[in-house]
Amino acid sequence: MKIGAIVAVLLSSALWAEKPQAWETARVISQNLSSEKAGAYAAPLGSGTVAVPLYRRWNVVIVETEQYRYEWQEQGRTPIILNVNEDVQFHRDGN
């Protein structure tokens, strides 16, 4: 009885185990790093006000597989820099 329970637990954990990622290979077609003004931040400094411009940074990457062409965008201070016309590996999380 105990052995059967242990075997059932081991089999069920094997079925629920996370499957390995399906990695795909694609060629980087283009990468566009850009920024645009997103406003200004004003703060008091002594008896005056100091304003600092704020910028929004974008990174747009286009890659091509045998069947599809993917485009993704990321926003932030540290973009991923890829070499154009070289292969990269990636995986899709969901659709």
The residue written with tokens 């003004």 in the block is 37
User: Is the pLDDT score of 58 beyond 70?
Assistant: yes
pLDDT score, position 86: 94
Alpha carbon 80 to chain centroid, angstroms: 9
pLDDT tens sequence across 64-85: 999 999 998 888 778 888 999 9
Kindly give the pairing relationship between strand 24-45 and strand 69-75: unpaired
pLDDT score, position 45: 84
Record the tokens describing residue 57, joined without a space.
């940074």
Nearest to 26 by CA among 56, 61, 50: 61
pLDDT tens sequence across 45-57: 888 888 888 888 8
Kindly give the pairing relationship between strand 69-75 and strand 48-64: antiparallel
pLDDT tens sequence across 5-44: 665 655 565 555 566 778 889 999 999 988 888 888 888 8
Domain borders along the chain are 20-90
Record the tokens describing residue 48, joined without a space.
């005056």
